[in-house]
């Protein structure tokens, strides 16, 4: 009898654990209703959309700092390009997740809370003449010259304080 009770208690505890885990996973992002999304896991706020056009790394830095803040209602002055690790955390590696097709025709596997117009996003990491990019179609990081613009995008992020 005590084995049966122990088994029932164990099953109930496992169900509660997995229900809570799934609930918490679904609460990573909160849509703020103003063109931004709060990422509770990383403690940052993302723009829901990229810059919507080809942009070099140099232009991307200026855009996230000076132009983007004027496009949304809440006024913050600390927008920046995301780090590689921040971008990687948005990539969905689950093979069952099909992602979505972007405006440029590329299929991307990024969390559904953020909409990209193309799949390559500039990262903040840089060298002398190159900077990092993350490919949301294939899920890898690489570098290119900072002056290149080919289908590269800027996705603003800011730290929550």
pLDDT tens digits, one per residue of 89-142: 999 999 999 999 999 999 999 999 999 999 999 999 999 999 999 999 999 999
Strand boundaries in 44-145, DSSP class E: 44-47, 100-101, 107-108, 120-126, 130-135, 140-145
Tokens of 88: 């990687």
Q: Coil, helix or strand for 29?
A: strand
pLDDT at 119: 97
Q: Of 11-15, 49-53, 111-115, which range is least confident?
A: 11-15
pLDDT at 34: 94
In the chain, what is the straight-line distance between the N-terminal and C-terminal CA atoms, in Å?
54
Question: Is residue 35 a contact partner of residue 45, using CB atoms and an 8 Å limit?
Answer: no
Bridge-based pairing of strands 120-126 and 152-153 is parallel
pTM above threshold 0.75: yes
Element (H, E) at 30: strand 29-31
pLDDT at 67: 93
What is the C-alpha separation between 17 and 23, in angstroms, rounded?
A: 10
């Amino acid at each position: 009898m005590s084995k049966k009770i122990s088994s029932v208690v164990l099953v109930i505890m496992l169900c509660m654990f997995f229900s809570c885990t799934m609930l918490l996973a679904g609460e990573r992002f909160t849509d703020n209703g103003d063109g931004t999304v709060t990422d509770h896991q990383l403690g940052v706020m993302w723009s829901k959309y990229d810059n919507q056009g080809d942009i070099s790394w140099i232009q991307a830095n200026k855009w996230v700092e000076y132009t983007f803040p004027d496009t949304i209602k809440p006024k913050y002055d600390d927008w920046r390009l995301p780090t590689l690790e921040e971008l990687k955390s948005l990539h969905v590696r689950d093979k069952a997740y099909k992602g979505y097709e972007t405006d440029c025709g590329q299929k991307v596997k990024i969390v559904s809370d953020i909409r990209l117009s193309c799949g390559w996003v500039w990262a903040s990491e840089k060298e002398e003449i190159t900077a990092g990019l993350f490919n949301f179609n294939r899920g890898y990081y690489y570098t290119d010259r900072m002056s290149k613009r080919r289908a590269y995008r800027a996705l603003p992020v800011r730290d929550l304080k």
